Amino acid sequence: MAKTSLPDFTALVKEGAPAVVNITVTRKAPALDNRSEEEMPEFFRRFFRGYPQERQQRPATGSGFILSEDGYVLTNHHVVEEADEIIVALSDRREREATLIGADPVSDLALLKIEASDLPVVKVGQSESLQVGEWVMAIGSPFGFELSVTAGIVSAKGRSLPDDRGNYVPFIQTDVAINPGNSGGPLFNLKGEVVGINSQIFTRSGGFMGLSFAIPMDIAMEVVEQLKDKGSVSRGWLGVQIQRVDRDLAESFGLDRAAGALVTRIFADSPAEAAGVKEGDIIVEFGGRSIDLSSDLPHVVGRFKAGTTADIKIVREGRSETLEVVVGELDESTMAQPVASARPQNNRLGVEVRALTNDEKAELEVSRGVLVTNVGSGPGQLAGIEPGDVLTTINSQWIDSVDTFEKLVEQLPAGMAIPVRVVRDGQPMFRAVKVEE
C-alpha cells in the first residue's frame, strides 16, 4: 500500500484567510438573553457566541466571508437575526458597519453589504462535486478567537436535520472542529474554494463532538442571487407530507428496493392535489432528479421556481406513472365529524376498533377511518399500530366504516406485507402489516 502524506493547509490559509471576517452584532436584550447555553436545544445548536446579559445591549459574534470586491458578505441568518447594529471586522483590523441586504431563515443565510472597495474575496466552488472522505478546512472565530483554522474530512452529504425549517437544506456533514463563533464561516476544499457555510453542530455538551454541518455553496449562491435581486427568497412547494420507505413498506407497495418518498397526506388546494398525486403514492423522481431518500424531495422541489412545470414519477399500486405538476411557492401559510360499540380484537390484525364521531373527525382532520381502541398480540402490534391511531386505508382501499375495515382485513392475503395508512396525533404515516395464516 502506497504511503500518502497528509495535506498541507498553509497555502490555503494564506490565500483564503484575508477574505474571512468577524461579525459582531448588538441586539436589545430579549427574554431569551436570560437563558444559558445549557437551556438551548440539546442536540443541534447554531453556533454564534453570546455573552452574558449585564446591560441593555448584548453583543454576539460570528463569522462570515467576502463574496465581492465591493463589499458583499455572506453569513448565517441566525448570527444577524434581530440585530440593531452589525459590525464587520476585516482581516486587516479595519471595521465597517454593515447593511443587511436580505435574509433567508429557511436556509439560515444572510447577505450583508459594507462600504469598501478592492476587498479580498473567496473563490466559490461547487459543493455538488464534493466527495465523502475529501479533506476540507474551516476558518472562523470560535469563542472569539479570530481567524482560527481547523480541518477534517467530509463525513456525509445530503443530511437532513430535525428542524422547523422543513429540511430544505441538504447539509454537508464533516468532522471539522467547529465551536460557538464559527457560525457563518467558510468551509474550503483543497483547491482553496469555498464549498460550504458552517452552520450547525451536533452536541450534548454545547461544544464540538465530532459532527458539524455546513450549508452547500451551490444552494447558498442561489439564495445570494435572490437576496441581491429582491431581498427575499422564493422556493418551490409541492404540498405533500411524506415518510421514509423502509424494507417492509417497499415490499408492501411492490417495490424491488426501499427508495422514494411515500406520500402520507395531500394538502388542500396544493400543486400535488391539482396534479393528481394521491396518498400512498411513492415519488421516485421529480423534475428529472432521482428521489432515493424521502429527505431528497424537499431539497429538490425547493430549488424549482414557483410557476415552473415539472414531471413527477410515482409508483402507485405497483405501477409506475408520470404526472405533471405546476410548482407552487413555499411561504408561511404553506409550511404550514354517535360512538359505535367497539369490536372485539378477534380479527386477523389483532386490533380493536370503533367508528369515529363527527367531532373526532374534525379534531383529527380526517374524513374517513376507524379509531384503534386496543391492540393485542398479532400483526397489528408487530407493525407498530397503537391505541389511539386512526386507520384510514388498508392496501390502498379507504376505510369508511367498521364493517368495511373488517371486510378488508378478512381479504388480506397471507404472507404478504400490506400497507396500512395510520393517522397518529394528527400525523399520517404508513405501516407495513404482514398477516400469517
Q: Which residues are catalytic?
A: 78, 108, 183
Paired residues of 372 in beta bridges: 353
Virtual CA dihedral for 215, 219, 225, 227, nearest 10 degrees?
-50
CA distance 355 to 402: 6
Task: Give the cell for residue 71.
Answer: 463589499
User: What grid cell was written down for 270?
Assistant: 396544493
The CA-atom distances, in angstroms, between 135 and each of 12, 17, 98, 402 are 12, 17, 32, 59
**Which residues are 271's β-sheet partners?**
none
Backbone CA torsion sign across 325, 330, 335, 337: negative
Q: Which residue has the cell 404482514?
A: 434
d(CA 353, CA 264): 21
Measured distance CA(221)–CA(248) in Å, rounded: 39
Please give the Cα distance from 383 to 399 (Å, whole number).
18
